[in-house]
Amino acid sequence: MRGKWIAGSVMTLLVGSVGILYWGNQQKDEVAKPLVVMSYASFTASWGPGPELAKRFEAKTGVPVRFVQADDAGVLLQRLKLVPADVVLGLDQSVLNGARSEMRWLPHVAKVDFPHDDLFVPIDWAPVGFVYREGELAPPSSLDDLRLERFKNQIALEDPRTSAPGFQFLSWIARGRTDVELKALIQQMHPSIQSVSPSWSQAYGLFTRGTAKLVLSYMTSPLYHQVIERDGRYRFASFPEGHAVHVEFAGILAKCARCDRAREFLQFLLLTENQKLIMEKNWMLPVVELPATEDVGPFREVMEAARYLKPKDMSTLQLSAAERERLLKLWSEASP
């Protein structure tokens, strides 16, 4: 009996040890399983904020982050239909309604004093307008100026059908105009347009190479040249009539494999140190109020200049999917 009891006890211990080992390995595998985040090319690039954010999140949680890439923020939704992810980062306000109707999302728990809803968290923003080099041309002072003879073949735009800032430009020029007036403005601008590129990076590349003298970009863009290239010639043309704004959001896919970590990641993006990193690496403005004691260098001046353009609520930001399609149709009809 004693031998059987000893043998049974040993077997129990072995089975228990195997169970503990299996559970431990399971836990280890769960921690090692990456959080998959989809974003656009410049965010995930070595010079963008993505790699450092991934490093910080893994250091904080033990969970690695794997980025998957879309060429431009404007095609993130299409890319998501082909490649699974836990989080998408970089959706702009013009596609949120379409995202809600085309895909299922999980609510987040992040809190931020910036327009948002239960499904999408803002991560950065910036006014959109035109960047030029001082001394090359007299800058425009309004949207109407873009039709002037002095801008003939000088403007690099992004295609609103594929580019997020490109669509913000289209929605901007559509404000207060009838369909007939909008199509007329687009047609009157044709002589000024040097190129319409599928992405911001392509349009901006034409500008930096001197092919175009004016480019649709962000109020923060001149800072890159000032800080990184030590070139102070770059300027943003401020319009008294105001500007479009581009807000980037993050959301959690309902099919997420690491849903709890995805919620944690969205909160992580709003930490002061990470907002500052996104600002300095993505050349956009933070959606949280950075402490006055925080050293933000030349960004402080732009943050103050942009304050009056900060969006007030989600209703002022979003368009219905039908309205988006209507504007894109008008653009296509008016374009050569």
Domain boundaries of the chain, sorted by first residue: 31-125+246-305, 126-245+318-334
Q: Do 31-125+246-305 and 126-245+318-334 share a fold?
A: yes
Please compute the mean of the pLDDT values over residues 284-303 and round it to a whole number: 92
- Measured distance CA(89)–CA(99) in Å, rounded: 13
CATH architecture, domain 126-245+318-334? 3-Layer(aba) Sandwich (3.40)
**Mean of the pLDDT values across residues 21-43?**
70
- Overall CATH class of domain 31-125+246-305: alpha beta
pTM of this structure: 0.86
Instruction: Determine the Cα–Cα distance for residues 240 and 134; give it in Å rounded to an integer.
Output: 19
What is the model's pLDDT at position 174? 94
| Whether pLDDT at 205 is above 60 | yes
pLDDT number for residue 30: 55
CA 74 to chain centre: 9
What are the tens digits of pLDDT across the range 247-259?
999 999 999 999 9
Q: What is the mean pLDDT of residues 88-103?
A: 90
CB atoms inside a 10 Å sphere around CB 110? 19
**Where in the chain does DSSP place strands (E)?**
35-40, 65-70, 87-92, 105-106, 120-133, 155-158, 193-197, 214-218, 234-237, 244-253, 285-286
